[in-house]
Structure 1
Amino acid sequence: MSNDTRMNIQLGEREIILIGTAHVSKDSIDEVSQVIRDSAPDMVCVELDEGRYTSMTEKENWEKLNVVKVFREGKGFLLIANLVLSSFQRRLGQELGVKPGEEMREAVEVAKELGIPYSLCDREVQITLRRAWGFCNFWSKCKLLASLLSSAFTTEKMSPEEIENLKNRSELDGMMTELAEYLPSVKGTLIDERDRYLAAKIWAAGGKKSVAVIGAGHMGGVKQHLEKIAAGEEGQDVSALNQIPPRSFLSKAAGWIIPLLIVALIVAGFFRAGAGVSLAMLLRWVLLNGSLAALGTLLALGHPLSILVSFLGAPIATINPFIAVGLLSGVTEATMRKPRVVDAQNISDDITSLRGIYRNRITKALLVFFLSSLGGAIGNFISIPSLAALLVK
């Protein structure tokens, strides 16, 4: 058994065995099963939350997805991020014939088989993503989106040996250092916070002898936090890590700055050069904003009515930040091309290829939502200097 993937920690009368895994590794699955059977613990902890475990064990889970409801609740980008992250892991898993997170599922199945209590110790993924997004500034959000999109469509392949090397501590240290330098706020939320959260939940699960199955990247951090908890240097209350950071004043105001600036330019055009110039400015903005939103929907191969709604809805959405053009176009797409049961059943496979994303009505509606939003935003940024140019003529 590799010392790099297993730690036996003695904390007073409690023994905790940490197993570090790669989430698409066949060896990790075998190791998890063997350690639990050989060590006979009285508690098994896994790095899963209730939502992810349900999605892994209930095939019909995706069939319950209401895309229109997702858009109306403002969770479109959250669902896209979830799908992109699972797409990357699933593509690696397909190359190796292993489903992402199968070692976690194996731990639960073995625990059930042996009659051992188990605990799902990870934080809900939606909370993790929303905290990561909330702590990012504008530039970091752009980098995060670029990173997510590049990982979704990358064609780079990893060999089984490279996957197994993900469990090597020196390799992981280098990866975490690189992530910290690229996006320190995201690294803090995805890694550091979850180290503490996992450790607290593992400790709270109890058991004189327990096995905890976690990603190899969490091994060192979880061990340190467990030792601090056992020594009384750190509390077990991690409720603060479940709270979504409030939006800053600047973030709240940002949604109003662009529409107010556009309206101010058009009004200034009226007082400075008359109704004709003001009308020309209004038409130019509507064309730029609406056309690029419609172009985004067209690139997503959206329904003709979705394209029309994007064009007409983008200016309305700009003036009223409480309404997003992506919401209007996404709901229209999901209404005109209602997702089928087969789309829900195949979504896990379809998200691994561009062709599958366009074929699947759920992911296509999300693509319409994203690209129309992006197009409308670009249209607004372009229109500001364009309107200012008309004003100074």
Structure 2
Amino acid sequence: MTNDIQLPDSVTHVKLDDRDIYLLGTAHVSKESVADVHETVDKLSPDTICVELCDARFKTLRNPENWKNMDIFQVIKEKKALLLLAQLVMTSFYKQIGEELGVKPGAEMMAGVDLSEEHKITLVLADRDIQITMKRVWGHLRFRDKLKIMMQLGSSVFVSEKIDEETINEMKEKGNIENVLDAFSKEFPTIKRVLIDERDIYLSQKVRNSTGKKVVAVVGAGHVPGISKQIHEETALEPYREIPKSSWTTTFAKWFIPVAIVGIFVYFFTYSDTSKFKSAIYIWVIVNGVLAALGAAIALGHPITIVAAFFAAPLTSLNPLIAAGWVSGLVQAWIKRPTVADLENLPQAISTAKGFWKNSVSRILLVVVFSNIGSAIGSLIAFPWIIATFF
């Protein structure tokens, strides 16, 4: 780093040919990080400021009123309910921390944006589109991990843990960040690879390809080590923008239980006695239906929604192209159509666990996710149970 300028400890200097790159590692909700951005930009007067934002997240931070334009029916039909719920849970998490610490989530990134506009500095939105990132995460996960994450995501809306600024600043320390990432990598290696490692590459290349001799990159502290390594190598970004297609093993696994169950029904009906056929039907309908309905009930769905989940699950479980949650979610949205006030209140509602259930929009998403979880668990329970009736 330069000898004559004292920069915050959160700044890492990287020499790239004749260019100076300054990686400013931040916590995403921290007054200190906001101050670090101001101090670094003021002292360096960089040619370019890169921020860890994609266009979608930039627009959301710039215009928080975007929630008002959401079409919940379209979200369900386009199979984005889980993605939106995940974003809401993360937004809620950061919002709670921000309220405790008196700083808006993403304030350090917006500080970089505002300074670029104020001083006429080139701005680069360096992150990969959040939709692509989430789809790549989901597309590369095994079914078991998907089910585990859906359950953790659902349970996380019940949790309200207070985190003070001292804890956040401790998390920014490089040693602590590496320990957290190591633990995360062991628990969910696929998520860590797509969410962190791939974005290290993406961010590094966007910073590398930015203009100017002096560049300040405002990124999460966890990305700094990876960017520091990757920035010296030129890497094509197209492969990291691709949405993964289902492999033949995933497709096989997705269709195996439905095809096997239908085959069993046909066999029992054709070659076995009527009692076994009826027994298999009852098991499939009751287990799938009850657990999907239970999921809708946990989400406090309307009674008609709960009934819809019960009748939809046994049928949708036999067709991987349709999910019970989509049916129950659309029914809930039709019965309890969100109002403009619900959309306007969504950012405030999700700040508490109770708010997730009270707001019509977030409740619809919970109905979708919990109904799907119930139906998936129902299939996993009913399948071996029906197989056992062979013996």
Give TM-score, length-normalised by structure 2.
Answer: 0.93
- Cα deviation 1:38-62 (Å, max 9, x = unaligned): 2211211100000011111113211
The aligned counterpart of 2:209 is 204
Moved more, 184-193 or 40-49: 184-193
- State the number of aligned residues: 386
Shift of the 182–389 alpha-carbon distance from structure 1 to 2, 3 Å rule, reads closer
Deviation of the 1:131 alpha carbon: 1.4
Residue by residue over 1:162-186, the C-alpha shift from the partner in whole angstroms, topping out at 9 and shown as x without a partner, is 1111221111111111112222221
Give the counterpart letter for 2:186 in structure 1: E
Aligned partners of 1:165 and 1:171 also within 8 Å: yes
Are the aligned partners of 2:157 and 2:356 in contact in 1 as well (CA < 8 Å)?
no
TM superposition shift of 1:353: 2.0
CA distance in 2, matches of 1:293, 1:175: 35
Q: CA deviation at 1:361?
A: 0.8
Q: Which residue of 30, 43, 51 maps to 2:35?
A: 30
- In 1: Cα distance, 2:248 partner to 2:183 partner: 31
- Residue in 1 that maps onto 2:10: 5
1:239 matched to 2:238? The reply is: yes
Superposed, which structure 2 residues align to 1:158-177 within 5 Å?
158-177=163-182
> What residue is the counterpart of 2:101 in the other structure?
96
Q: Report deviation, 1:37.
A: 2.1
Alpha-carbon displacement from aligned partner over 1:273-312 (angstroms, at most 9, x marks no partner): 3334323432332222222212211221112221222122
Aligned equivalent of 2:372 = 373
Where in structure 2 are the equivalents of 1:336-351 lying within 5 Å? 336-351=335-350
Q: Does 1:118 align with 2:117?
A: no
2:50 alignment partner AA: C
Percent sequence identity is 38
Aligned pairs (5 A) from 1:177-326 = 177-226=182-231, 228=232, 234-326=233-325
Whether contact under 8 Å (2:324, 2:375) holds in the other structure is yes
Q: Could you tell me how far 1:209 is from its partner in structure 2? A: 1.4
Q: Which runs of 5+ in 2 are unaligned?
A: 1-5
Of the structure 1 ranges 116-125 and 295-304, higher mean CA displacement relative to structure 2 is found in 295-304
1:49/1:125 contact within 8 Å kept? yes
CA distances 1:106-128 after superposition (whole Å, capped 9, x unpaired): 11011111121211000011211
Aligned with residue 138 of structure 2, among 133, 138, 143: 133
Does the CA-based 8 Å contact 1:24-1:99 persist in structure 2?
Answer: yes
Cα separation, partners in 2 of 1:253 and 1:329, compared to 1, 3 Å: same
| 1:146–1:377 CA distance, 2 compared to 1 (3 A) | closer
2:387 and 2:235 map into 1 onto residues whose CA distance is 56
Cα distance in 2 between the residues matched to 1:146 and 1:292: 14
Question: Could you tell me whether the CA contact under 8 Å between 1:85 and 1:148 is conserved in 2?
Answer: no
Note the C-alpha offset of 1:89: 2.0
Instruction: Tell me the residue number matched to 1:72.
Output: 77
2: CA distance between counterparts of 1:216 and 1:192?
Answer: 13
Opposite residue 258 of structure 1, the aligned amino acid is: I
For the residue of structure 1 that corresponds to 2:46, the secondary structure is coil
Counterpart residue identity of residue 183, structure 2: E
Q: Which runs of 5+ in 1 are unaligned?
A: 229-233
Would the aligned equivalents of 1:269 and 1:391 in 2 still touch at CA under 8 Å?
no
1:118-163 per-residue CA deviation (whole Å, 9 max, x = no partner) reads 1100001121122122222233334444554454433332221111
Matched letter for residue 98 of structure 2: G
Aligned AA for 2:303? P
Rounded to whole Å, the distance in 1 between the matches of 2:226 and 2:323 is: 40
Q: Does 1:356 align with 2:361?
A: no
Displacement of 1:236? 4.2
CA distance in structure 1 between the partners assigned to 2:254 and 2:230 by the alignment: 40
Q: 1:231 — aligned with what?
A: none
Q: Is the 8 A contact 1:134 1:245 kept in 2?
A: yes
SS in 2 for 1:9: strand
Q: Secondary structure at the match of 1:153?
A: coil
TM-score under structure 1 normalisation? 0.92
User: Are the equivalent residues in 2 in contact too, given 1:265–1:391 (CA < 8 A)?
Assistant: no
Q: 1:377 to 1:146 in 2, by over 3 A?
A: closer
The amino acid across from 1:341 in the alignment is V
Distance 1:148 1:296, change over 3 A: closer
